[in-house]
Amino acid sequence: MTTDTADLTRLATPPTFQSVSGARKFKNGLATAAVWGAFLVAIVPLVWVLFIVVQRGLPIVVNADWWQKSLNGLLSRQQGGGVYHAIYGTLVQGLVCAVISVPIGLMVGVYLVEYGGRSRLAKATTFMVDILTGVPSIVAALFVYSLWITTFGFGRSGFAVALALVLLMVPVIVRTTEEMLKIVPDELREASYALGIPKWKTIVKIVIPTALSGILTGIMLALARVMGETAPVLVLAAYAPYINYNLFDGPMASLPLLMTTERSNSTAAGFDRIWGAAITLVIIITLFNLLATVVSRVLAPKTK
């Protein structure tokens, strides 16, 4: 007696879709083309901008003087000199801004996630941070101008710029800190409480170190962003062609300010300075982004 053994490889019923219809192929092709098209549209301006900045700026910045000297005592049509004064201004304004805004932003973030909960104060704070995120940089600059310079009577200075940048940087840091603290698993906190450790110590020793790499990345990116801001430096600091180490008094150059100032210089030297400063700014911000990546790698919590 022979038994019918089922052919295991054959399907009981034939597959519903035996061949892909022409309409589907067409739609697939159309979608692929659209996605690639969108990709190209996005990438073309990026590559173009980078190419032009590198092509026009690179020959100017491969020169030791460019990184070590200021433009002091040079006529607008004279080649030479460097942008040390502007690099110094950009970095110092950015760092002072970070020194002020990082503790504020970090502590607000910790409050919102760990203590605030659903309280009215926490809701109000979140709302304010949302509004602050949407404030254009020129408004922040004018606010600081009217408060610091008109009302308090201080002069224009690099520090006033740093204050305006704080307004732009704090909401970004609060947001990143909040997001990073939220993804720290509650089990870690509970395990810590179970060992009898107070809440503040849990936050300082367990929660923040776990989220640290993400928070630091956020801070670096925020810093890179504010260093390229033009509106605050235009309103709050006068340009100086010499090196001014004093953040609190006198005009101070920065890279975006140097570029806007040199725009009124129609000579070849002015053209070179603008493109040189542009690529310098791109290089500095790229370095900060790279640093952010490295820092977050080094500080990432060990999974083993």
Partner 1 sequence: MKIQRHSAVFGLVAAGALLLSACGSDQNSAQGGASAGATSSVDVTCGGKQNLNAEGSSAQKTAIDTFVQVYQQRCAGQNVAYNPSGSGSGVKNFTGGQVDFGGSDSPLSAEKGEVAAAAERCEGNPAWNLPLVFGPVAISYKLEGVTDLTLTGELAAKIFNGGVKKWNDEAVKAANPSASLPDKDITVVYRSDESGTTDNFQKYLTAASNGAWTQEAGKAFKGGVGEGKEKSAGVAQAVAGVDGAVTYVEWSFAQDNNLSVAKIDNGSGAVELTPETVGKAIDGAKIKGEGNDLVLDLDSIYGSTEAGVYPLVLATYEIVCSKGYDAETAQAVKAFLTVAATDGQAGLTDAGYAPLPKAFQEKLLTAVKAIA
Residue for token pair 């502007």: 86
Write out the two tokens for 9.
């490889």
Least separation in angstroms between CB 47 and partner 1: 27
Q: How far apart are the C-alpha atoms of 157 and 248, rounded to whole Å?
A: 6
Taking CB under 8 A as the binding criterion, the range among 23-31, 45-53, 128-136, 245-253 that sits at the site for partner 1 is: 245-253
Compare residues 228 and 250 and give the one whose CB is closer to partner 1.
250
Contact region for partner 1 (CB under 8 A) — 128-136, 166-174, 185-193, 239-247? Answer: 239-247
202/14 Cα distance (integer angstroms): 61
Asked if residue 239 binds partner 1 (CB under 8 A), the reply is yes
Nearest approach, Cβ of 133 to partner 1 (angstroms)? 27
Site for partner 1 in 207-226 (CB under 8 A): 209
CB-based contact 83:91 (threshold 8 Å): no
What the block records as the tokens of 200 is: 């503040």
x-or-dash string of contact with partner 1, 143-182, rule CB under 8 A: ------x-----xx--------------------------
Query: Which of the stretches 36-44, 130-138, 185-193, 260-268 binds partner 1 when contact is defined by CB under 8 A?
Result: 260-268
Question: Candidates 112-120, 122-130, 182-190, 257-265 — which segment interacts with partner 1 by CB under 8 A?
Answer: 257-265
Distance CA 72, CA 81 (A): 8
**Shortest distance, position 252 Cβ to partner 1, whole Å:** 9
- Relative orientation angle of helices 84-110 and 208-227, to the nearest 10 degrees: 140
Task: State the Cα torsion 195-201-206-207 to the nearest 10°.
Answer: 120
C-beta separation of 90 from 227 below 8 A: yes
Q: Is 76 in the site for partner 1 (CB under 8 A)?
A: yes
